[in-house]
Amino acid sequence: MKILQKWDAWAEQKRSPYILLAILAVINVLYILLVDIFPFQDMPQHLTYAKIIGDYGKSGNLFERYYDLTAHFTTYHTYHWVLSFLGRLFGIEAGFKVLLLLYFVSLSWGMSYLMDAYDPDLKASPWKKLLIQLCIWNATIGMGFMPFVQSMPFFTIAIGAFLRLRTGRGDLVKNWVVFWVALVLLSLTHVVTACAVVFFLALYTLFDRAERPFFILLANVLFFLVTSRLYGGLGRGGLTEHQTIQWSESFVHSYDFEFVTSLFNVTWSPLPVTMNYVFWNFIGPYQLTTLIPLALLYAVLVFILYRLSAPKKVSGGPGEKNKKKNAEVVTSVPEKVEKKFQYAYKMAAKIFLLFAIFLPWGIYIPSEITFINYRLLTLALFLIIGLWPWNWFEHSRQKLIVTFIAFLSIGLYSYKTYLYQQETKVPLRMISRIPSNRIVGSVVFGNRSEHFTRILRLTHFLPMYYTLRNSGINGQFWACYAPHLPVCYKPGKAVSNTPDWHPWKFKAEDLNDVDYLLYSTMYYANNPVETGIKQAILERMNALDCEAGWCLYRKK
C-alpha cells in the first residue's frame, strides 16, 4: 500500500508522464540499436533491393552481371533509394536502423500531433500519449512492408494538420505547410497510405459539412490523382498472370455486384482471417498462447479504467442528505462538450475501421496491392487510439494502469524479439560459411517463429542475408516479379530456384544454377514429399551442416 501511496503522490506531479515517455523512448531506441535480426517478414527483401542499388557497379560483387536497375521511377522506389544512400554511408543494416529510428520518432511525434489536434482545449493528456507505444511495433511492421511502414507517420501528420486547418488553431500558414509537406511525402512513399488520407477526409466531410474541409478534400483528391498517375505507380499493372479485362467482360460470369471481383481481380479475406488481422493489430502479432491471455488482460484493464472514470455515489439510502451529496459528486465532474469537428472525426475513424475490416485482401488490376485490409487496420488503430475518453487518465490508479499497458507492450515485444534472435542463429551461422560471389538457392518449408503469429513467416527470407552480408547472388530474390519494383534480372540471367512460398514444387532443375543450398525442414517428420526432395538434393549436392531443422548443401 505504501508503494501505491508513493505512486499516487508521484503521479500528480506534472513532470511524471514526461519522465515515463522519455523512458519509453530510451527503451525503443535501445531496442532498435541492439537487435540484430528484426522480426519483420519481408524486410530482408527490401534491404536486398537497397543493397544491390547501393553496390551496383562496385568491384567485388556480381550485381552488375545479373541485375538491371529499372529506368522508370515510382513511389515504391523511394524507400530503397534512400536506404541505399544510407547503406553507402553506414552499411546497409546500420542504414536500416537509421530509418527505423526516423520511423519511431516521426510516428511518435505524428501521433502526439494528431491527439493534440483532436482535443485542442485540453491538449491531449501526456498520460494518454503513453498509449502511442501500442502503435509503434504493430502488425504491419511485423510483415516487413517497409515502404508502407515508412509512410505511416505522414498519415497521422496529414490528418493532424487537416484538423488544425478545420478548427483554425495555430498559425494558418504553418498548418498549410505541414499539411502539404505530409501529402508530398505520402505521394513519395506509398500510394495506399496517400489514398487512405483521401478516404478519411471524404468520410470526415460526410459529418462536418463546412466549406473548408470540403475544399481541402477536393485539393487532396486532385493532388492524389495527379501524383499517383505521374509517379505513384498506379495503373502500371499487377503480376503478369493477372491480365486486364474489359468492363463488359467483367459481367459475363458474375452475379450482380460480384463483377467488381472480376474487374479488379479481387481477393477477399474470409471473416475468421480478418478477425485475426484485427487481433494482431489491436492486441499484438503473437501466437494464440500469448494473444488470448493478453487480450483478456487488456479487456480487464480497460474495464477497470472505465469503472474508475465513473462518478462515485454516496451510499446509505435515498434520504435527502445523500441525494444532495450525490448531486454534488456528479456535478463536480468537469463537463466536456464534444465539438462538431470532434464528432466528425470520431465517426470518420469508426467508419474507417469498419471499412478496413470489410475491404478486400488484395487487387491485381490496375496495380498489384495486397494486404489492403491488413494495412488499413493498422492505420485505423492510429485513428482510434486517440478516442480513449479524457476521463480515463484523471486519477492516479488510472495513470498506473495506462503506464502498465505501455511498458507491458514494449517489454513483451522486446522479450519475444530476443527469443526470435535465438532462432536465427543457426541459419545465420550457416550463411557465414558460404564464400562470397557464389549463387545460393533455398528450399524453405519451416519458416515460422514459435514466438510470433503464424502468418509472420519470419525465418522465410533469412537466406537473403547471404546477399546482405556476403554480397552474393540469391535465387530467393524477388527482382521484378511485379512492375513497381526497382531491380530486375538481366535477360537470361534469372537464377533457377524453387518457387517462393511453394517449396513442395521443387524440381531437380532448380539446382542447376546454385552453388549452395539452404534447406529448412517441415514442422513434422517423415513426410513423403520432403523425403523425395531431400533425395533429389543429395544426388547433386553434399550436406555440409545440419542443425535445428536447417541444412546447408554444396554442389558436388
User: What would the mean pLDDT of 250-258 be, rounded to a whole number?
Assistant: 63
Instruction: Give CA–CA dist 414/242, Å, rounded.
Output: 40
Does residue 321 have a pLDDT over 80?
no
For the segment 390-409, the average pLDDT, to the nearest whole number, is: 94
pLDDT at residue 334, rounded to an integer? 46
- How many Å apart are CA 314 and CA 253, to the nearest integer? 68
Per-residue pLDDT reduced to its tens digit, 287-320: 999 999 999 999 999 999 999 987 655 555 555 5
Residue with cell 494473444: 291
The pTM of the full predicted model, rounded to 2 decimals, is 0.92
Q: What is the mean pLDDT of the chain?
A: 90
User: Position 118: which residue type?
Assistant: Y
State the pLDDT at residue 330. 46
Cα 62 to Cα 490: distance, rounded to the nearest angstrom? 12
| CA–CA distance, 429 with 67 (Å, rounded to integer) | 27
**pLDDT band with cut points at 50, 70 and 90 for residue 129:** very high
Quote the pLDDT of residue 469.
96
pLDDT at 319: 53
Predicted confidence at residue 522, as pLDDT, reads 74
> Collapsing DSSP states into helix, strand and coil, what is residue 520?
strand
Q: How much is the pLDDT for 527?
A: 73
Average pLDDT over residues 466-477: 96
Mean pLDDT value across residues 193-220? 95
365 close to 264: Cβ distance less than 8 angstroms: yes
In the prediction, which pLDDT does 320 show? 53
What is the spatial distance between Cα 318 and Cα 314, in angstroms, rounded to a whole number? 10
User: Residue range 220-227: average pLDDT?
Assistant: 95
pLDDT of residue 507 exceeding 90: yes
Q: Assess whether pLDDT exceeds 90 at residue 127.
A: yes
pLDDT tens-digit readout, 359-370: 999 988 777 889
Confidence of residue 79 (pLDDT cuts 50, 70, 90): very high
Ranges of beta strands (E only) in 42-96 are 67-69
